[in-house]
Amino acid sequence: MLFKFRRQWETPWEVVDSKAVKPVYMYYDDEDSLDIVAVSDVDTRGTYLFDVNHLTCVALRNAVTFSRQQLIQEVAKKDFNVLLLESWRLTIFRRGKSHRIEIMYSGRPAQVLGKLPHLPPPPFIDVLHEFVC
């Protein structure tokens, strides 16, 4: 066979659960201090994998929050400094006693002048309580 993706003796990762949050506006028009000068034409998306020994609610929250921080760092390279729309999808995999978390974080980058607004937590982060908490 020309392409072998997995060794035959390796057990594959099994999908345990998945949650998704559709795009949500993070800032609203009533915020007077938000001076938007540029908005990207397309969303930016990043996929992040985390191997965890013990699957806890804190680990899930930290994975989503870290993924968001990484995406903000990526859009900062293109001179954007906030995400106007944010969405994410979390998938939990299991292989034996090991767990893997995959986060696909997406956002619409924008450039804001002046003082940046307070960064709220990722949208609907409390849906993670259904997993292991």
Q: What is the 3-state secondary structure (H, E, C) of the chain?
A: CCCCCCCCCCCCCEEEEEEEEEEEECCCCCCCCCEEEEECCCCEEEEEEEEECCCCHHHHHHHHHHHHHHHHHHHHCCCCCEEEEEEEEEEEEEECCEEEEEEEEEEEEEEEECCCCCCCCCCCHHHHHHHHC
Q: pTM of this prediction?
A: 0.86
Read off the tokens for 12.
């594959």
Q: What length is written for the chain?
A: 133
Read off the tokens for 28.
């609203």
- Largest Cα separation within the chain, whole Å, is 61
Spans of all domains in the chain: 14-114+123-132
pLDDT in tens, 55-70: 998 999 999 999 999 9
pLDDT in tens, 93-114: 999 899 999 999 999 999 999 8
Read off the tokens for 123.
């949208």
For residues 60 and 127, give the distance between their C-alpha atoms in angstroms, rounded to a whole number.
10
Res. 45: pLDDT tops 90:
yes
